[in-house]
Amino acid sequence: MTVTVPVALGERSYEVVIGTGLLPDAGSRLAPFFRRPRTLIVTDETVAALHLAALQSGLEAGGIRSEAIVVPAGEGSKSWPMLERVVEALLAHRVERDDLVIAFGGGVIGDLAGFAAAILRRGVGFIQIPTSLLAQVDSSVGGKTGINSPLGKNLIGAFHQPRHVLIDIDVLDTLSDREFLAGYGEVVKYGLLGDADFFDWLETEGPRLRDGDKSGRIEAVRRSVAAKAGIVSRDEKEHGERALLNLGHTFGHALEAATGYSDRLLHGEGVAIGMGLAFALSARLGLCAQETPSRVAAHFAAMGLRRSMADIPGELPDADGLIELMAQDKKVVGGVPAFILCRAIGDSFVNREVPPEAVRAVLAEALV
């Protein structure tokens, strides 16, 4: 069973195909996109060990020859040295302007391979085959690509839309519970930012899809991708509405920076904790009902998701230290960070005028 979500972007439009059993079928599904039947797959060591053989034989079955560039797993690969390595390897493999590169992995690989494709020969096309829930519902769709700077996350990059996105739900079976739940934080984000019915549905169906139900997972990914595709097609370059996708990210990025982008806190966990803080801030500012943050926290708790700063092992900076880290966020304009706040579940908006003392108070309360 497959479902298709279109991303409408004029001549750069593409489709996201979601289903099961897609890797063995990759060759016949992707052959129409190739001008010559060869490709380079950029992946990481973990995904390569688990799924590369399946993808390569699936491509081969459709007549597409492939070779792989395998980089270390983890956020550390979103770096200048790794970008150089990937770009030079693609050139050494004689990737031409009309060839397509495949990004096969989680968010790190999609961002790294997509950025390499964006700058190689002034831009070659690429296909996203995301393997983490987080990449399936967020980073593989919408064309944000890039690497991290020592000064902050995602500060170097380009918008470069993929030509196609192939989402095989089966690969989620090999994720750890923690990785799955971190991605689930991004699924909940779509309900919280703009679709209260979806959040209601997740409150009921979340445990079933966490426990492996494939049709529930397809539906959750479809609704997430459809929400993202709608936003991206209305505001591709983030001049307005797309910023709502950053719900939880201003807090989350500061927490990720505070924990050194390490295993102490996965990106999706930072976003989940950040969304809890965004709702706490909204309630403190009188924007949403006082009980709304508790409803969000109750769903995260029911799913077993990390949801508060107390769930992060080790020391954290104090409230002022975290506010300092927010100043490095790429959403800062004129030194003022943007916060996505909520009037209710499913009703969010961007606010650049949040009083710093309210942010400090929310963080101080969450740190005790």
For residue 249, indicate whether it is catalytic: yes
By CB under 6 A, tell whether 247 contacts ligand GLY. no
By CB under 6 A, tell whether 29 contacts ligand GLY. no
For residue 237, indicate whether it is catalytic: no
For residue 253, indicate whether it is catalytic: yes
Q: Name the minimum Å distance from CB 233 to ligand GLY.
A: 12
For residue 122, indicate whether it is catalytic: yes
Residue (146 or 293) nearer to ligand GLY, CB = 146
By CB under 6 A, tell whether 329 contacts ligand GLY. no
By CB under 6 A, tell whether 125 contacts ligand GLY. no
User: Could you tell me the two tokens for 334?
Assistant: 């004129």
User: Could you tell me the two tokens for 247?
Assistant: 């719900």
By CB under 6 A, tell whether 245 contacts ligand GLY. yes
By CB under 6 A, tell whether 142 contacts ligand GLY. yes
Angle at alpha carbon of residue 143, lines to 169 and 271, rounded to 5°: 65
Q: Which amino acid is at 175?
A: L
Q: Name the minimum Å distance from CB 334 to ligand GLY.
A: 21
Query: What is the distance between the alpha carbons of residues 232 and 64, in angstroms, rounded to a whole number?
Result: 31
For residue 186, indicate whether it is catalytic: yes
Residue 19 parent element (H or E): strand 14-19
Q: Name the minimum Å distance from CB 64 to ligand GLY.
A: 28
Contact criterion met (CB below 8 Å) for 69 and 41? yes
Q: Name the minimum Å distance from CB 268 to ligand GLY.
A: 11
By CB under 6 A, tell whether 138 contacts ligand GLY. yes
* Sequence-distant (≥ 6) Cβ neighbours of residue 182 within 8 angstroms: 133, 134, 266, 267, 268, 269, 272, 305
For the chain, report the end-to-end CA distance as a whole number of angstroms.
Answer: 48
Contact criterion met (CB below 8 Å) for 354 and 339? yes
Query: What is the distance between the alpha carbons of residues 305 and 283, in angstroms, rounded to a whole number?
Result: 22
Q: How many residues of this chain bind ligand GLY (CB under 6 A)?
A: 6
By CB under 6 A, tell whether 144 contacts ligand GLY. yes
Q: Name the minimum Å distance from CB 280 to ligand GLY.
A: 22
Phi, psi of 337, rounded to the nearest 5 degrees: -75, 150
Q: Name the minimum Å distance from CB 74 to ligand GLY.
A: 19
The DSSP string of 300-314 is: HHHHT---SGGGS-S
For residue 163, indicate whether it is catalytic: no
**Residue 18: Cβ within 10 Å count:** 27
- DSSP one-letter code for 314: S
Q: Which of 242, 306, 307, 330 binds ligand GLY (CB under 6 A)?
A: 242
Q: Which of 38, 153, 160, 228 is catalytic?
A: 228
Phi, psi of 317, rounded to the nearest 5 degrees: -65, 165
Residue nearest to ligand GLY (CB): 245
For residue 351, indicate whether it is catalytic: no
Which of these ranges, 74-82, 124-132, 135-143, 296-304, lies near ligand GLY under the rule CB under 6 A? 135-143
Residue ranges that bind ligand GLY, judged by CB under 6 A: 138-139, 142, 144, 242, 245
Question: Annotated active-site positions, please?
Answer: 122, 144, 186, 228, 238, 242, 246, 249, 253, 267
